[in-house]
Structure 1
């Protein structure tokens, strides 16, 4: 599967029918190596739990452990080191970590539990993306075109001369945080997104309302396939 994801368009003799910007986007988000790198960054033991062995059930069970711990930690009079140690070990059994020579940290405070919850959210998106990308590819269709079809989402590069594109560029410029002064952002491309059946669901609740707004949602690129 990893071989399929590497330079997908370039490795195929079949020419892609997609817009060049869309091809570039798919190359960027359909990258299994970046997903593996994210797991290493999370200090996950990728030898015990490689990308292909990550399961939805594992992640859900790990969520349950964290929820149980969080509930107990909120009640100071019920803190029990034995309980915390047992649940921490259970979590690390479900989601194997590699801390090198260090002792695995106890899940004994709200901050570390919050971080592990965020990690599980990212793992859930990675697991979903992997299951999409691992599907067998047809020999007579460009791999990027096939992955685009698997998304079941319409992606259309926005006209750079459109009012909406200009507005988004302005938003990026005017809302750049003062604490992030070490870099600047440049809008290279914007895509209109229409997910399967989403418009019908939206129209059902938006009739008569005129307060639709554009909102930012930032996420790791390894999450984008799952989000789309």
Structure 2
């Protein structure tokens, strides 16, 4: 029944909610949904209509990323109820873009003030004054039956998922992090979509919110893999305006989310704990380090997590957790390209609007947590150089973690394991030789270091 409904769901409608006795003093009347919420509600309405108004499809949850609230939308009673405050308001749908007539029951509409929680901001409703052209929506692509095995490369189940999903695994490759930053409208939000397979079936897990905050979550399922994949692909397309199967040639669209390539949680955790677990093992003997003392000190410095944490703290980055997790080397390189575009604009026209758009693109690629404040525009060479330094640090961290991830502990005949410094040295894949201070090479290296230190990511 559900798949048949989803295949027939249409579009073209605009959605509104009726505001009366607003505690902030807004005039009584109809206000339009945000674009994303209107699109999502229209999809749900299409499924409800195509299913001959099946009761189980009449009430759905819709989250507003603008206000931070989740609403229970009743498509039969045409009401929305704030799940936190209990406030209920009439809703309406039109295909003309104009607001509906005033509801007959407006005098009885509940007027309980909207409650805000720490870290959320009450949004200002947008009064509809212009006609919105109907949008055509294509039917969802046919679901594919997948038999691909689960793989550790697919990543870990999100830590915010319910306990019933924590014992499961990410289904095939269906795991993506999205981000969108728009400084002009103070948008800085993420959206994560996962399919999680448990012994009960496949579940759709979504998490969204402002970057740096825990965000809200929603789970759907269990369901069969065919339906789950269809739901995942529909959600991905709604948020990015790209098809999942075309993600290799992803085309960013204005007002939509972009993909953010992450290091998988499981691998990152292993990398961060590999040396610590070896050094802290109280039940296994660790072999003495075979490195010369000064060589060992250098290797330990290269892989020193405290040094990375100190550098990140100096750049106002959370040393324990990046806003959305560890970024991949490819994603960091995209950030460098974005900074180069900003530099070119600063050297050229230095148009304030263009710099704001380019900075928004950089923050979308390299997520930053600004709280509820608007992020700063990168409009000076100094501010760009600071971001190059930040990416340089992130690159070093990613490289060190990648090498640590490859460490393989081996035991001798007595069950003792290799020293962590020896393991890290092996990952450098080079021979380090100590140079005496009176050696000519020492003078050359010292001169080079003193001439190039503290000059930014690219020495500019």
- What TM-score, normalized by structure 1, do the two folds share? 0.62
| Structure 1 residue 115 corresponds to structure 2 residue 386 | yes
Match of 1:217 in 2: 449
- Summarize the Cα distance change of 1:126–1:2 in structure 2 as closer, same or farther, 3 Å threshold: closer
1:5–1:31: 8 Å Cα contact kept in structure 2? Answer: no
Q: Secondary structure at the match of 2:291?
A: coil
1:32–1:130: 8 Å Cα contact kept in structure 2? Answer: no
| Structure 1 residue 142 corresponds to structure 2 residue 419 | yes
> Which residue, 290, 301, 308 being the options, matches 1:35?
308
Q: Secondary structure at the match of 1:104?
A: coil
Q: Secondary structure at the match of 2:378?
A: coil
Deviation (angstroms), 1:72: 1.7
| Structure 1 residue 129 corresponds to structure 2 residue 425 | no
Match of 1:5 in 2: 275
Match of 1:73 in 2: 346
Q: Secondary structure at the match of 1:154?
A: coil
Q: 2: CA distance between counterparts of 1:144 and 1:74?
A: 45
Deviation (angstroms), 1:74: 1.7
Deviation (angstroms), 1:138: 1.3
Identify the structure with bigger relative contact order (alpha carbons < 8 Å, sequence gap 6+).
Answer: 1
Q: 2: CA distance between counterparts of 1:83 and 1:125?
A: 31
Deviation (angstroms), 1:87: 1.6
1:137–1:143: 8 Å Cα contact kept in structure 2? Answer: no
Deviation (angstroms), 1:105: 0.9
2:323–2:369: 8 Å Cα contact kept in structure 1? Answer: no
Q: 2: CA distance between counterparts of 1:107 and 1:60?
A: 18
Match of 2:121 in 1: none
Q: Which deviates further from its counterpart, 18-27 or 38-47? A: 38-47
Q: Which deviates further from its counterpart, 134-143 or 107-116? A: 134-143
- Summarize the Cα distance change of 1:69–1:21 in structure 2 as closer, same or farther, 3 Å threshold: closer
- Summarize the Cα distance change of 1:157–1:80 in structure 2 as closer, same or farther, 3 Å threshold: closer
Q: 1: CA distance between counterparts of 2:305 and 2:408?
A: 15
Q: 2: CA distance between counterparts of 1:47 and 1:119?
A: 12
Match of 1:164 in 2: 439
Deviation (angstroms), 1:109: 1.8
Match of 2:358 in 1: 87
Between Structure 1 and Structure 2, the one with more helix by share is 1
Q: Deviation digits for residues 29-88 of structure 1, max 9, x if unmatched?
A: 2122322332232223534244xx221121111112111121122223xx4333222221
Q: 1: CA distance between counterparts of 2:279 and 2:300?
A: 8
Q: Deviation digits for residues 67-115 of structure 1, max 9, x if unmatched?
A: 1121122223xx4333222221221122222345653210112221122
Deviation (angstroms), 1:27: 2.1
1:58–1:94: 8 Å Cα contact kept in structure 2? Answer: yes
Q: Superposed, which structure 2 residues align to 1:167-182 within 5 Å? A: none
Match of 1:178 in 2: none
Q: How many residues align?
A: 171
Deviation (angstroms), 1:143: 1.9
- Summarize the Cα distance change of 1:142–1:4 in structure 2 as closer, same or farther, 3 Å threshold: same
Match of 1:26 in 2: 299
Q: Secondary structure at the match of 2:432?
A: strand
- What TM-score, normalized by structure 2, do the two folds share? 0.33
| Structure 1 residue 48 corresponds to structure 2 residue 323 | yes
Match of 1:104 in 2: 375
Can you give the 5+ residue segments of structure 2 that lack an aligned partner in the other structure? 1-270, 412-417
